Amino acid sequence: MWSTSRPEPALADAAYSAVMSQPVDPDRLKRFSFHVFTKLEGAVTAGMIHLGDRLGLYRALADAATPLSAAQLADRTGLDERWVREWAYNQAAARIIGVDATVPGQELFDLAPEAVAVLASGDHPAFGMGMFHQLPHLMRTLDDLPESFRTGCGFDYDHHGLEGAIGIERSFEPWSKANLIPVVLPALDGVVDALRAGARVVDIGCGAGSALLQLAEAFPASTFRGYDISQYALGRADAKRDARGLANVTFHDPRRDPVPEDGSIDLVLTFDCIHDMTQPAEVVRGIARALAPEGTWLLVDIKALDSFEQNTAKNPMASLMYGMSVMTCMASALSEPGGAGLGTLGLPESRARELARDAGLTRFRRLAVEHSVNAFFEIRP
């Protein structure tokens, strides 16, 4: 199915020689080399951000009433001052944390309010440490990806282990807590009233169950079923449900306990997962069969446009998303033979409409919900 052919050695050598014989502009060479190494700087600084979150350094800076020296920050976190100082120099040089360098060797470090929101406030909608939480596990996939490039076969999300599941959970939970019930649900016609009265709800690709548990608490008359193939995520979902003592929500692996397709479901939720699936068209057809005649499917997925040119022109984070796709989204979507391989930016509105229409769903509406990454759609039979 996937071609693994390579150019003939003689042709490859000739092409290489032709390229190497072209003159190199010294100024352009310097600029391009600098451009390349800014990418390495970003990767290294991302690793330092991971450490700042993992070691509680951001939290300590956020909790401090005044700026801290490296020694004070080390004392508050129980860490070695020399290591903390070098970390802080990286973060200040990268303009992640603030610094007062009036007295050399006695720098004082702090966090601006916006930095506190992104780096240290786990309940703030802008909190961004989830992706950095899973960074080491994502980077380990670099050892496995050459084989994927050779064979065309990827790997599912459990390949990233428990910490990968926790990272995804931390990525989505803050925004969902702040916006799902007060902002998103009221944008859907009649859904809040149905949930209050008692509805049957299914969350496909539920992950660790954060959204579903939130809904189960808010709407006790309704019943909720979450489905995911990640055993790590399902384990966390079950544990959180038990800790909250909720009896109206359950979690399932669809390979053992399929989503009911008897037209009995009032609300289907899919958050950032259709583009990850090996057979998205089949999943959407299953959703259509599951929905009651007046049921609703809330599709939330990555904002994407119809072409590479449009994505790179309109999305300043396009290169990040294509790279993440190689390590996560597309890898998941190609984790079985014949996978669709949509990838992170593979589900633009036009493709979503096509999948819905082909499944027999006739009403499709984009919701006026503001989100930096995702688009929201209400889809009905």
Average confidence (pLDDT) over 226-251 = 97
Q: pLDDT band at 6, cuts 50/70/90? A: low
pLDDT in tens, 173-183: 999 999 999 99
pLDDT in tens, 192-234: 999 999 999 999 999 999 999 999 999 999 999 999 999 999 9
- Taking the C-alpha atoms of residue 343 and residue 350, their distance in angstroms, rounded to an integer, is 15
CB 167 within 8 A of CB 232: no
Q: Is residue 8 pLDDT above 80, yes or no?
A: no
Q: What is the reported pLDDT for 1? A: 36
Residue 161 — left, alpha, or beta (φ > 0 → left; ψ -120 to 50 → alpha)?
left
- Span of 16-25, 89-98, 151-160 with lowest mean pLDDT: 16-25
Q: What is the reported pLDDT for 105? A: 87
pLDDT in tens, 103-121: 988 999 999 999 999 999 9
- Which of helix, strand or coil describes residue 309? helix
Q: What is the reported pLDDT for 12? A: 56
How long is the chain?
Answer: 381
Average confidence (pLDDT) over 62-81 = 98
- Span of 3-17, 35-49, 132-146 with lowest mean pLDDT: 3-17
Average confidence (pLDDT) over 40-60 = 97
Pairing verdict, β 363-366 and 223-227: unpaired
Pairing verdict, β 223-227 and 200-204: parallel
Helices H / strands E in the chain, number of each = 18, 9
First-residue to last-residue Cα distance in the chain: 35
- Taking the C-alpha atoms of residue 222 and residue 282, their distance in angstroms, rounded to an integer, is 27
Report the half-sphere exposure of 205 (CA within 13 A, side-chain side). 25
Q: Is residue 2 pLDDT above 60, yes or no?
A: no
Radius of gyration of the chain (CA): 24
Q: What is the reported pLDDT for 4? A: 45
Q: What is the reported pLDDT for 22? A: 85
Q: Please give the structure tokens belonging to residue 350.
A: 């036009």
Pairing verdict, β 249-252 and 98-100: unpaired
Please name the residues in contact with 102: beta carbons below 8 A apart, sequence gap of 6 or more. none
Q: pLDDT band at 148, cuts 50/70/90? A: very high
Q: What is the reported pLDDT for 19? A: 63
Please name the residues in contact with 368: beta carbons below 8 A apart, sequence gap of 6 or more. 187
- Which of helix, strand or coil describes residue 270? strand
- Taking the C-alpha atoms of residue 129 and residue 113, their distance in angstroms, rounded to an integer, is 16
Q: Which domains does the chain have, with CATH numbers?
A: 18-121 (1.10.10.10), 140-380 (3.40.50.150)
pLDDT in tens, 310-334: 999 999 999 999 999 999 999 999 9
- Residue 278 Cα distances to 38, 133, 266, 338, angstroms: 34, 26, 25, 8
